[in-house]
Amino acid sequence: MLKILFSREDIEGAVKGLALRIEQDFDNEKIIFICLLKGSFMFTSDLVRCIANPSRVDFIRVSSYGAGMTSKGTITITKDLEEDIAGENVVIVEDIIDSGLTLTYVTDMLRKRNPKSLKICALLDKRARREIEIEGDYVGFTIDDGFVVGYGIDFAEQYRNLPEIYVVESDDSCKTA
Ligand code: PRP
């Protein structure tokens, strides 16, 4: 069962707020936005439309989760960037920070390519679940533990198309005595 967590309006407000902060920090400088596939495709699409800086968008795909609700803890790159990020302002766009394993791996890897700056913009932050210390520079919402779907985020590849963000609740919690 899905229970709504953030409406379209909530998300739109958060995205506009994040975009404004990025615009203010980068003062019309060039930015390369890196969309971490797949979960961030919708967030990236909305975010970059709110940003007036001269921008490029690239995509990276790493796999860290299986079809279940828990992390595998193993990360591999399945699609690398096409852009050269050396000397560039880079903003990684992430749908959700959970254990922090994915972003730690990705930021370590991208730093070795010598960007001018490297920032993290995350829509959701499940801070209580962190296993490695890493913080987003721009964070939309800090949320409690619980499995969320929608707005690009999946459960076993389902629900990415939902325009709102929901918490997945187990059927047991819905049963009445
Ligand atoms: C999810 C999510 C983040 C990552 C966060 O991606 O989109 O990228 O997990 O978890 P972590 O902080 O514990 O590493 P996933 O690997 O499920 O791939 P997807 O984006 O293709 O759904």
- Which atom number of ligand 1 is nearest to the Cα of residue 39? 20
pLDDT of res. 67 = 46
How far is ligand 1, taken at its centre, from the CA of residue 153, in Å? 8
pLDDT of res. 65 = 56
- Kindly list the protein residues whose Cβ atom lies closer than 6 A to any atom of ligand 1: 36-39, 63-65, 71, 94-102, 154
Rounded to the nearest angstrom, the gap between the alpha carbon of residue 19 and the centroid of all alpha carbons in its chain is: 14
- The whole-angstrom separation of Cα 64 and Cα 118 is 21
Compute the chain's Rg from CA coordinates.
Answer: 16
pLDDT of res. 72 = 52
Catalytic residue numbers, as ranges: 98
Give the mutation target among 75, 79, 96, 102 for probing the ligand 1 site: most ligand atoms within 8 A of CB: 102
- Regions of the chain with pLDDT less than 50: 67, 69, 174-177
How far is ligand 1, taken at its centre, from the CA of residue 34, in Å? 14
H/E/C letters for each residue in the chain? CEEEEECHHHHHHHHHHHHHHHHHHHCCCCEEEEEEECCCHHHHHHHHHCCCCCEEEEEEEEEEECCCCCEEEEEEEEECCCCCCCCCEEEEEEEEECCCHHHHHHHHHHHCCCCCEEEEEEEEECHHHCCCCCCCCEEEEECCCCCEEECCECECCECCCCCCEEEECCHHHHCCC
Question: Pick from 115, 137, 14, 127: which is nearest to 58 by CA?
Answer: 115
Please, what are the domains in the chain?
2-174 (3.40.50.2020)
How far is ligand 1, taken at its centre, from the CA of residue 64, in Å? 6
How far is ligand 1, taken at its centre, from the CA of residue 98, in Å? 8
**Nearest alpha carbon, ligand 1 atom 3:** 96
Residues 6 or more apart in contact with residue 34 via CB below 8 angstroms: 57, 58, 59, 60, 81, 85, 90, 91, 92, 93, 110
